[in-house]
Amino acid sequence: MLIKAVFVFLLVMVVIGMIGNALFPGAVSKVAKRRLPLAKSRTCPKCGRYQIGTSGCGCGGK
Ligand SMILES: [Zn+2]
């Protein structure tokens, strides 16, 4: 009985995921693409320190 409930719950989650993917195609990949350059700009390419804001850090590296 409990296993059946879990199976139905998983099935509902899969259906919701499929509907979401059909309604908003590429919405998940868009978020992933937006996050990638943001994560890259977080650290300085010269010294590797974490940066606050978009301008370069104090080490003088571009
Ligand atoms: Zn730096």
What are 5-59's pLDDT values in tens digits?
999 999 999 998 888 888 877 766 665 556 555 555 577 778 888 777 666 677 8
Structure pTM? 0.37
Q: How far is the CA of 31 from the centre of ligand 1 (A)?
A: 27
- Residue 62 CA, ligand 1 centroid: distance in Å: 8
How many Å apart are CA 11 and CA 17, to the nearest integer? 10
pLDDT for residue 48: 80
- Give the mean pLDDT of the chain: 75
Q: Say which DSSP state 53 is in.
A: S
Q: How far is the CA of 12 from the centre of ligand 1 (A)?
A: 48
Residue count of the chain? 62
**In which band, very low, low, confident or very high, does the pLDDT at 2 lie, cut at 50, 70 and 90?**
confident
Q: How far are the Cα atoms of 5, 9, 21, 30, 35 from residue 17, in angstroms, in the given order? A: 18, 12, 6, 16, 21
37 alpha carbon – ligand 1 mean position (Å): 17
